[in-house]
Amino acid sequence: MTSKKDEVSVELRGTIAVVTLNRPGKRNALSDGLMAQIEAAFASLPDTVGAAVLNGSGDHFCAGLDLSELKDRNAVEGVHHSRTWHRILSGLEFGRIPIIAALHGAVVGGGLELASSCHIRVADDTAFFALPEGSRGIFVGGGGSVRIPKLVGTHRMMDMMLTGRVYKAAEGVQLGFAQYHVPAGSALEKAIEIATRVASNAPMTNYSLMHGLPRIAEQPADHGFFTEALLASIAQSAPEAKARVRDFLEGRAAKVKAS
C-alpha cells in the first residue's frame, strides 16, 4: 500500500475545510493509501466545519485509480477493493457536511467517481471528463455505475466507456458533470465561495438535502411525499428555522434576487 502521510492536506478556514489531494507527481492517482487518507481527513474534521471543498494539487484534479496497484490484484481482492471504495465514497456522499469539488484538468475514471460522490461540482475551463476504464479492459468500481448515470444518463456513460469519449469543460458542464463552469484557475476560489455560503445554512436543511433528497428520488412517489413531509416538519420546527423566518418577516433577511 503506497501511503505517505502528506498525500492529503486539510486547511481549516473558519466554517469550511479545504481538503487537497496532494500527489501531483502521480496526477493524484488514487492508491489505497491515498483513499485511506481521504477517509481519515473527512472523518477528523471538527464539528465547527459546516462544508468542505475537495480539490487536487498540480495540473489535474485526479487521474483515477492508481493503476500500478491493479496489476497483481485477484478477483477476491478486487471485490474487497471495490467495496472499500464504496464505503469511503458513500461516507463522503452521506457524511455530515456537503462537499464542493473544485475540478481542473483530468477528472477521469476513479477521479470522476470521487467527484460524483461530492454534492456540488465546480469545473474550471481546463477540466475534462472521461472514463478510461473501458480502454484499460476494466470496469468502474468506485460507485460510478450508480452515481454517474444519475448525473449524465446511462447511455452517455455507456458511450464514454465503450469509445473512450472525452468531454471538455463547457460541454461537460452543460451535460451535468458539474453545476458551475468557471475560468481556468478559478475553481478553488469559486468552490470556497460556495462552501462558505452552504456552511451558513441551517444544519437540518443541509442534512435533509444530503440524506433525504437522494433517497426520496429513489422512493415511489407516495413514499417520497411522506418522507418529505417528515423532513419538512423536522426542519421547520428547529429554533434556527423559526429565527430565520422571523428575520425575513421583520425585514432583516436578504430577499431573493435575480443576480
**DSSP string computed for 8-62:** EEEEEETTEEEEEE--GGGTT-B-HHHHHHHHHHHHT--TT--EEEEEESTT-SB
**Cα–Cα distance between 49 and 61 in angstroms, integer?**
23
Is 113 among the catalytic positions?
yes
Should residue 106 be labelled a site residue for ligand 1HE when binding is judged by CB under 6 A?
yes
Should residue 67 be labelled a site residue for ligand 1HE when binding is judged by CB under 6 A?
yes
Should residue 141 be labelled a site residue for ligand 1HE when binding is judged by CB under 6 A?
yes
Task: List the x/- string, 164-203, binding to ligand 1HE by CB under 6 A.
Answer: ----------------------------------------
Report 28-47 residues binding ligand 1HE (CB under 6 A).
29
**Cα–Cα distance between 35 and 21 in angstroms, integer?**
10
Sort strands 120-124 and 51-56 into parallel, antiparallel or unpaired: unpaired
Residue in 96, 136, 150, 211 binding ligand 1HE, rule: CB under 6 A: 136
CB atoms within 10 A of CB 71: 6
**154 grid coordinates:** 446511462
Is 171 among the catalytic positions?
no
Length of the chain: 259
Should residue 122 be labelled a site residue for ligand 1HE when binding is judged by CB under 6 A?
no
Residue with cell 412517489: 221
Region of 92-100, 135-143, 213-221, 222-230 interacting with ligand 1HE (CB under 6 A):
135-143
Should residue 108 be labelled a site residue for ligand 1HE when binding is judged by CB under 6 A?
yes
Q: Which residues bind ligand 1HE (CB under 6 A)?
A: 26-27, 29, 59-60, 63-68, 85, 106, 108-110, 132-133, 136, 138, 140-142
